[in-house]
Amino acid sequence: MADAFSLPLVEIATLLVEGKIKARALAEEAIANHERFGAHLMAYSQWAPDHARKCADAADAALAVGSRAGSLQGIPTSIKDLFAVSGFPTYAGSPKRLPPKFEIDGPVVANLRRQLATVMGKTHMVEFAFGGTGQNAHYGSPRNPWDATAHRSPGGSSSGAGVSLGEGSALLAFGTDTAASVRLPAAVTGNAGLKLTRGRWSTEGIVPLSSTLDTPGLLARSMADIAFGFAALDPGLGDGFAFLRATPASVDGIRIGIADSWFWDDCENGIGDIVRRALDTLARAGAIVKETPLPEARDAFAIYAEGGISAIELRAFLDRELPDWLATIDPVNAPALLNAEKLSAREYLSRRARMQEAANGAAARFDDVDVIALPTVMFTPHVLTEVSAEQFWARNRNMLHNVMPANFLTLCAATLPVGLDRLGMPVGLQFFAKGGDDERLVAIACAAEAVLGTPRQLLGTPPMCRG
């Protein structure tokens, strides 16, 4: 079947089960797409076509004898190089290979591999996931496929994940989200993204940035594809087909709060207007829309602006596990990690306590709404150039403004594309939901997508991935 990648993930998985398409054919299509576009886009730090073919052949062999390993059997996937994947080195975006203990599959990757998914390789990332612009001084930065003339930020820290989806070398991409790192790259590359409630999925087998905030997450070409992958991998669900069948296609009666002006006032290039039009469409389709302030987001951002807790927790990890890596840290990140040693235990614990207080307040905001809606990113992804550390962190703060509150407030969150801004770059609509409401969040986001249209319908194909 030509261009199977144009189909929804559930349809591709169904065709695999029915024997109407082979996993090997999917893998070859993914490989061909990467060969056409990958040299310029640089999604992968470790591209592994031979490994992918072996995975696909194993999936086909099992299906040929009626063996169903899981919903993701034979599905091409990419994995951020923060995840341990046995048989692959782990660098975590650093210039040196990490010790063998960081190459042992954790529960998330083990589940994926038990389902006989096709692993295409490991994607580029910001060093130790510490940053949201996608820049990496050691390897360079993947290119956002939506700008054919300038090298724009692909978002970070899962910088190669969204690019792998755009070029058509993966149908599902694995990332992590500590303050933005799934939703930000998903939004700016025209994909959907899901940040789970912290603790929903294990972080074992993932190189840590922040033991307090880290969570695995998914990027995909649509929210429907996210839903299929989420249910296939979630220990409490385990079946992408059944979950997607139960997902409503209507937003009638869904209670959507519109976040307050703090999330909107600085939007550029028409981003705010595009997101508001999408919300108006949902209201006309039956959603119950009301203004819902979330003042705790300001408290969370203040803690982040003071330095948050990621720097000190990453520094503690490096001191304990990888002390030799400090000498080669990306020069942009080095000052923050070096200064982290000056943070007192009293101040660290105070920030933790303030975060918890803000999270407690935020939870009450969902008493009369199902989700709170806001733009995912207020700013068009910038052109990557040589910048000072001060300029870098200013850009980083801007890009994270609307996404990091979900992590600090222990919420779950999803983003889906809703249009292109004045510069032709993707715009994301983000939903926050109360921590623990992951299934309902995914169902609501899928219902919204059913009303608004899929990314492919709304955006088309990235300019650098056409022809």
Q: Which residues are catalytic?
A: 80, 157, 181
Residue at 418: amino acid letter: V
Using a 10 angstrom Cβ sphere, with 0-12 exposed, 13-18 middle and 19 or more buried, the burial of residue 82 is: buried
Which position has the token pair 């390789």? 121
What is the C-alpha to C-alpha distance for residues 459 and 453, in angstroms, rounded to an integer? 10
What is the C-alpha to C-alpha distance for residues 341 and 245, in angstroms, rounded to an integer? 51
Using a 10 angstrom Cβ sphere, with 0-12 exposed, 13-18 middle and 19 or more buried, the burial of residue 62 is: middle
Gyration radius (Cα) of the chain, Å: 20
**Helix ranges (DSSP H) in 115-235:** 161-167, 183-188, 223-233
Among 25, 43, 45, smallest CA distance to 118 is for 25
Give whole-number Cα distances, 203 to 2, 104, 124, 200, 211, in Å.
37, 12, 19, 9, 9
DSSP calls for 242-292: HHHHTS-S--TT-EEEEP-GGGTTT--TTHHHHHHHHHHHHHHTT-EEEE-
Describe the strand order of the beta sheet including 216-220 as a list of residue ranges: 44-47, 118-123, 76-80, 172-176, 216-220, 192-195, 412-420, 426-433, 371-375, 255-258, 288-291
What is the C-alpha to C-alpha distance for residues 171 and 48, in angstroms, rounded to an integer? 16
Among 30, 130, 55, smallest CA distance to 330 is for 130
> Bridge partners of 458?
none
Tokens in use for 256?
A: 């959507």
What is the C-alpha to C-alpha distance for residues 348 and 408, in angstroms, rounded to an integer? 14
